[in-house]
């Protein structure tokens, strides 16, 4: 009978530690995609390397996250929906560019604020966008352009 009580107490302690660990992991992972702030959309030619949950940064600081990606069936452009933090106000002439944190790093959406006095409202659209640059295409272009120059 004593061993059953000891096993029960040990099991309860293990469950308590597991719960504490899960709460800590949830809070540090910042899993609050799409909550609070304003929701915006932007249209891109190419969103390679960007996925739902990717960072949205301004001046290198995370200010939001990508909440969805869809394809516009009429224009065949990628439509990104993003959610920004409550305290971020974005001028309506701001631009969005997909860039990477390093040569092999993850891509993120870089916002550059414009100079307008009018701010984007919830549900607004960022008009000025630049899609992802494919590094393989750039390398191939550099190789083939240099080989064409040497033949002349």
pTM of the model: 0.68
As separate numbers, helices (DSSP H) first and strands (DSSP E) second, the chain gives 2, 8
Average pLDDT, the chain: 85
Residue 11 sits in the same domain as residue 48: no
Tens of pLDDT, residues 81-100: 999 998 888 999 999 999 88
Residue 43 sits in the same domain as residue 26: no
Instruction: Classify residue 75: in a domain, yes or no.
Output: yes
* 35-39, 78-82, 126-130: range with lowest mean pLDDT: 35-39
User: Whole domain around residue 111: which residue ranges?
Assistant: 38-132
Instruction: Classify residue 57: in a domain, yes or no.
Output: yes
What is the number of domains present in the chain? 2
Tens of pLDDT, residues 23-60: 888 777 755 554 568 999 999 998 888 889 899 999 98
Residue 13 sits in the same domain as residue 45: no
């Amino acid at each position: 009978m004593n061993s059953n009580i000891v096993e029960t107490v040990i099991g309860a302690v293990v469950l308590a530690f597991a719960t504490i660990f899960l709460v800590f992991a949830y809070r540090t992972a910042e899993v609050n995609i799409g909550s609070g702030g304003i929701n915006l959309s932007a249209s891109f030619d190419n969103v390679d390397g960007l996925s739902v949950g990717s960072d949205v940064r301004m001046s290198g600081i995370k200010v939001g996250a990508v909440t969805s990606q869809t394809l516009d069936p009429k224009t065949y452009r990628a439509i990104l929906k993003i959610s920004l933090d409550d305290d971020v106000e974005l001028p309506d002439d701001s631009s969005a560019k997909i860039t990477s944190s390093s040569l092999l790093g993850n891509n993120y959406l870089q916002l550059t604020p414009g100079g307008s006095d009018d701010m984007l409202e919830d549900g607004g659209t960022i008009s000025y966008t630049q899609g992802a640059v494919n590094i393989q295409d750039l390398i191939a272009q550099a190789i083939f352009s240099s080989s064409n120059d040497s033949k002349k």
